[in-house]
């Protein structure tokens, strides 16, 4: 229940400073990959899909550790442990995509909604972490726009 509170309440989000939040971020990432599996297969045509799946998980974990490292250097370790929960709104991306197709909007907009939702969860933004997140988002949306 605490996890669902973190999705919608800033206060509950800021109270979570535990190591299990990395597992939540990994589950959210894998939910998005599985939800868009058909598009994922179209991007990596002719390659070994399980290997690409593992490679994407490794790249995501490196990105997550980079963000946590920047946060721990700029602030403290306790704030760095709550950072992986920023990826929790991405678990709603498949639902956003279905709703957007009902209204005839592009599915790629679902990633934008989840990104803005995750930005709104944090009350204080570190400019360096926000810059890294925005650059990763821009590179993601350029890829997603072509395969959705």
Written as one string, the DSSP assignment of 59-115 is HHHHHHHHHHHHHHHHS-HHHHHHGGGGGGGGGGHHHHHHHHHHTT--TTHHHHHHH
CB contact set of 40 (below 8 Å; sequence gap of 6+): 33, 49, 52, 53
For residue 64, the Cα-to-chain-centroid distance in whole angstroms is 9
Instruction: Look at residue 9 in the predicted model and tell me its pLDDT.
Output: 64
- Tell me what the mean pLDDT of segment 60-71 comes to: 89
CA–CA separation, 27 and 92 (whole Å): 12
Instruction: Look at residue 58 in the predicted model and tell me its pLDDT.
Output: 93
CA–CA separation, 48 and 45 (whole Å): 9
- Tell me what the mean pLDDT of segment 32-58 comes to: 84
Instruction: Look at residue 6 in the predicted model and tell me its pLDDT.
Output: 62
pLDDT digits (tens, 9 = 90+) for 82-129: 778 788 888 888 889 899 989 988 888 888 888 888 888 776 677 888
Instruction: Look at residue 62 in the predicted model and tell me its pLDDT.
Output: 93
Instruction: Answer yes or no: are the C-beta atoms of 110 and 101 closer than 8 Å.
Output: no
Residue 80 has pLDDT above 60, yes or no: yes
Instruction: Answer yes or no: are the C-beta atoms of 110 and 86 closer than 8 Å.
Output: no
Instruction: Answer yes or no: are the C-beta atoms of 57 and 26 closer than 8 Å.
Output: yes
Give 135: exposed, middle or buried? Use CB within 10 Å, 0-12, 13-18, 19+: exposed
Higher pLDDT, 47 or 1: 47
What does the mean pLDDT of the chain come to?
Answer: 81
Task: Say what the pTM is.
Answer: 0.81
SS3 category, 129: helix
CA–CA separation, 142 and 98 (whole Å): 20
CA–CA separation, 78 and 7 (whole Å): 19
Residue 1 has pLDDT above 60, yes or no: no
């Amino acid at each position: 229940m605490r996890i669902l509170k973190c999705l919608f309440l800033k206060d509950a989000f800021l109270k979570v400073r535990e190591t299990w939040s990395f597992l939540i971020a990994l589950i959210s990432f894998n939910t998005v990959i599985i939800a868009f599996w058909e598009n994922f297969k179209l991007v990596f045509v002719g390659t070994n899909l399980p290997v690409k799946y593992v490679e994407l998980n490794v790249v995501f974990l490196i990105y997550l550790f980079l963000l946590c490292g920047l946060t721990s250097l700029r602030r403290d370790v306790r704030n760095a442990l709550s950072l992986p929960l920023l990826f929790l709104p991405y678990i709603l991306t498949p639902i956003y995509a279905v709703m957007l197709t009902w209204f005839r909007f592009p599915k790629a907009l679902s990633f934008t909604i989840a990104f803005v939702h995750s930005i709104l969860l944090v009350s204080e933004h570190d400019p360096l972490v926000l810059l890294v997140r925005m650059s990763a988002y821009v590179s993601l949306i350029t890829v997603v726009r072509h395969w959705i």
